[in-house]
Amino acid sequence: MFKKILIANRGEIACRVMKTARRMGIATVAVYSDADANSLHTETADEAVHIGPPAAAESYLVIDRIIEACKKTGAEAVHPGYGFLSEREAFAQALADNDIVFIGPNKRAIAAMGDKIESKKAAAAAKVSTVPGYLGEIEDPKNAVKIADEIGYPVMIKASAGGGGKGMRIAWNASECAEGYELARSEARSSFGDDRVFIEKFIVNPRHIEIQVLGDKHGNVIHLGERECSIQRRNQKVIEEAPSPLLDEETRAAMGAQAVALAKAVDYDTAGTVEFVAGQDKSFYFLEMNTRLQVEHPVTELVTGIDLVEQMIRVAAGEELAFKQEDIKLNGWAVESRIYAEDPYRNFLPSIGRLVKYRPPHEGSFGGLTVRTDTGVYEGGEISMYYDPMIAKLVTHGPTRKAAIDLMSEALDAFYIDGIQHNIPFLTALMQSPRWQKGELSTGFIAEEYPDGFLPRQPEGEELKIMAAVAAAIDHLNNARRREITHQMDGSPVRFAAERVVALGDTMQAVHVEGSLGGPVNVRLFDDNGNLIDTLELAAKWWPGDTVWSGVVRNKDVSVQVRPILNGYDLAYQGIHVPARVFTKREAELTAHMPAQEAADTSKLLLCPMPGLVKAINVSVGDEVKPGDPLAVVEAMKMENILRAERDGTVSKINAGPGDSLAVDDVIMEFT
C-alpha cells in the first residue's frame, strides 16, 4: 500500500479523497493555486504545494507542475478527483514515465472511453445501443447546422472532452445550433483545453441513468447498481439518487451487463461510470463513459456500503477486488443535493464572495437514517470566480425513498449559509414537489416545473401556521431575554402583550403567545373575527441569536432559518422564504398606512446579473436593438452567459469592455 499520495485537484473532491486516505493511514499532499492558498483542502492535507496562478490552465491543468510536486514531496501515487486532468491520457502517461502510480484507469481505457467521440465508436463496435449522431470532425457553424439538419432537431452539441455540463448546448433550430456550436467550443477550450465537439440526437423527455462500475488489474469488473441523475439545470446535475425509481430488477440487470461488457472491452481497472439516456418506457441508450470518480458517488456508497475512493486506491496498489457481483446488494435509498453558489432568484446566475456563515446540518447516523456532507469550504472562506460553483454535497440515506427525501428536506432547512447567494431555497422547494416525490422525472424536470424561473413558495395551510408560530415564539423569547439583561433601571416590570399580529409577507395572522426561555412556547392562532382556529406547542432549545430554530411541532422535527432584518426576521422553511414581523394590534393597524417603497427604474440599463468577466460586447453606441438580440457575454465559474436585449432601444453608452471584471448590478451599457 502507498505511504503517500497526491491529490491533483481542489475543493470538495480533494477533501473527500483525503478523508479516506487518512482512514487508511496514507499521508496526503495537496496542490493549490494562488486563489486556493487558504482553502480547506490545503489545510486538510499533510503537505501542500503551490502550483501557479488562479486560472486552471496555468495551475491545475499543468501536468509538469503536478509531477514536480510529486517529486518534491515523495508522493508515490496521484488521485485526480474529477474534472481537470482526471480523464487525460497524457497525464496518465506522464505519471507512468516518472514512475508515479495513477489512481485511475489504464491509458487504453482513457483513450477509448475518456473521449466521448471515441467512446461512442467503441460502444457501437461492442454492440451497445447508442444515440444517433455524428462523431466526425465539425469544421464550423455552417457545417454544424448541416449535420444537425440531417440528424433532425432537437440536437445536443457536446464537448468531446467535456463533463459537468460544460461545453454542452441543446439546439432546437439552425440559429441555436450555430450559436451553440461556438459557445460549446469556447467553453470546452477554456475548461478542458480541447475545443472538439460532436452532435447527436437529443432524446425528448429522457431520463439520465448511470451505472457505477468497478474493476481491478486482474480482469475482474462488477457494477454497483445505478444512479438517477435526471434533475438537471443547464445540463448540470442538481439532485441525484440511488437506486432509480424507474428501473426494475430486469432493466437494472440489463443496463449493468452492458456497462460491465463495455468496461471489460477496454480492460477497465478502477471506478468508472457508464451513462445512459433512458426513455420513460425503460428503453436505454449509451451516452458516454466517465473514466473517473463521479461527483455523485456518495449515493452509491451509502446504498452499497462500499467506499469507492478506498477501492480506487487499493486497485491502483494492485489488490484484487474483495467482492463479486453476487455480493453487491442495494440497501435503502440515498439522495444527494448539490449546494451551489448561485442565485435561484436571478435565474441561477453564479454568486461569489465570502462565506460569512457556513453551518451545515449535523452529520451522522441515527435510527436507520444518515446525513452526510462532503465539502471543500469553511466559514470565513471565499467562493472564487475561477472554479466550479459547488459549495457542498448534502447526502441523506434512509430505508425508503420517502424517508431519504423527508430527511433531505429537514437537513436542507437546517443548512445555514450567509454572505453569498445559494440554491438551498430552490432545493428545499423542489423536495416538496409532488412530481419529484412520485419519481416522475426527466432531464427537463426543472424547466417544466419552473417555466418562469424559480420563485419562493408562498406560506399557506400548515406551513403558514408553523411559520407564524415560530415567528411569534422567537419574538416572544427575544423580548423575554431582553428583560433578563442585568443592571437595568428599577421600576415596574415591563409586560409584553400576549396578543400579537404576525405579518408573513402580505399575510397577517393574529396570535396569542405564552412561554419562557428554556421551556415550551404555546401559540394560539385566531381568524379575523377573533375565533380560535388552532393551537401549536413549540418545543425547542432555541436561544436568541441562534441562526436556526430547530424543534418539534406536532411531533414533527422542524427547522426554520432565522435572519434578523429591520423590525423582524427573514424566515426560510420548506422552500418558503418570507420576511416576518411581529406587531402589537395597534402597530398592525398603523402598518396599513405605511407607504410602499418603490424600486429604482433600471429599464434603460443593462446590469451585470452576476460577478464575472466580460468576454465580449456585441453592440456599439448608436446601434438599435430588438428583444432577444445578444448584447454582451459574461463569463463566471467557467460558464459563458449571453446577456440579451429585453425590449427595443438604442445603445447610448457602453461602460465596460472585454476583460473587465464586474460585480453584481454593475452597469454594462445604457439605452435611450
Q: pTM of the predicted model, to two decimals?
A: 0.84
Give me the CATH topology for the region 461-483+496-591.
Answer: Glycoprotein, Type 4 Pilin (3.30.700)
Look at residue 33 in the predicted model and tell me its pLDDT: 97
CATH 2.40.50.100 intervals, the chain: 605-671
Give me the CATH topology for the region 335-434.
Answer: D-amino Acid Aminotransferase; Chain A, domain 1 (3.30.470)
- The answer to whether 288 touches 233, Cβ cutoff 8 Å, is no
Look at residue 166 in the predicted model and tell me its pLDDT: 78
Least confidently predicted of 119-128, 257-266, 341-350, 617-626: 119-128
CATH 3.30.700.30 intervals, the chain: 461-483+496-591
Query: What is the torsion angle, in degrees rounded to the nearest 10, for the CA atoms of residue 615, residue 619, residue 622 and residue 626?
Result: -130
Strands 507-515 and 661-662: unpaired
Look at residue 638 in the predicted model and tell me its pLDDT: 67
Distance between CA atoms of 28 and 384, rounded to whole angstroms? 24
Look at residue 119 in the predicted model and tell me its pLDDT: 81
Local confidence band at 645 (pLDDT 50, 70, 90 cut-offs): very high
Q: How many helices (H) and strands (E) does the chain have?
A: 17, 40
Local confidence band at 127 (pLDDT 50, 70, 90 cut-offs): confident
* Catalytic center residues: 288
What is the per-residue pLDDT across 538-563, written as a single tens digit (0 to 9) for each? 999 898 889 999 999 999 999 999 99
**Is a pLDDT exceeding 90 seen at residue 69?**
yes
CATH class of the domain comprising 605-671: mainly beta
Look at residue 510 in the predicted model and tell me its pLDDT: 95
CATH 3.30.470.20 intervals, the chain: 335-434
Local confidence band at 121 (pLDDT 50, 70, 90 cut-offs): confident
What is the per-residue pLDDT across 578-611, written as a single tens digit (0 to 9) for each? 999 999 999 998 987 888 777 788 889 999 988 8
What is the per-residue pLDDT across 451-465, written as a single tens digit (0 to 9) for each? 988 988 888 999 999
- The answer to whether 378 touches 523, Cβ cutoff 8 Å, is no
Distances (CA, A) of 245 to 287, 334, 338, 640: 20, 11, 19, 34
Strands (E), 195-310: 197-201, 207-215, 221-233, 236-242, 271-278, 284-290
Label residue 639 exposed, middle or buried (CB < 10 Å: 0-12, 13-18, 19+).
buried
Look at residue 554 in the predicted model and tell me its pLDDT: 94
CATH code matching the domain that covers 132-201, chosen among 3.40.50.11810, 3.30.565.10, 3.30.1490.20, 2.40.50.140:
3.30.1490.20
CATH code matching the domain that covers 4-103, chosen among 3.40.50.1820, 3.40.630.30, 3.40.50.20, 3.40.50.720:
3.40.50.20
Distance between CA atoms of 155 and 153, rounded to whole angstroms? 5
**Is a pLDDT exceeding 70 seen at residue 493?**
no
Element (H, E) at 17: helix 11-23
Cβ-based neighbour number of residue 31 at 10 Å: 31
Give the distance, in angstroms, between the CA of residue 512 and the centroid of all CA atoms in the same chain.
41
What is the per-residue pLDDT across 365-396, written as a single tens digit (0 to 9) for each? 999 999 999 999 999 999 988 888 899 999 99
Work out the average pLDDT over 172-189: 93
With a pLDDT cut of 90, the percent of the chain lying above it is: 74
Work out the average pLDDT over 146-155: 92
What grid cell was written down for 546?
Answer: 441562534
The residue among 223, 351, 344 whose CA lies nearest residue 275 is 223
Least confidently predicted of 49-58, 433-442, 580-589, 631-640: 631-640
- The answer to whether 30 touches 81, Cβ cutoff 8 Å, is no
**Is a pLDDT exceeding 70 seen at residue 300?**
yes
Distance between CA atoms of 228 and 303, rounded to whole angstroms? 13
Average pLDDT over the chain, rounded to an integer:
92
Work out the average pLDDT over 213-227: 97
Look at residue 641 in the predicted model and tell me its pLDDT: 84
Local confidence band at 164 (pLDDT 50, 70, 90 cut-offs): low
What grid cell was written down for 173?
Answer: 433550430
Give the distance, in angstroms, between the CA of residue 393 and the centroid of all CA atoms in the same chain.
7
CATH 3.40.50.20 intervals, the chain: 4-103
Sign of CA dihedral 614, 619, 625, 630: negative
Distances (CA, A) of 287 to 61, 119, 221: 26, 9, 20
DSSP string spanning 252-281? HHHHHHHHHHHHHHTT--SEEEEEEEE-TT
The residue among 270, 150, 261 whose CA lies nearest residue 215 is 270
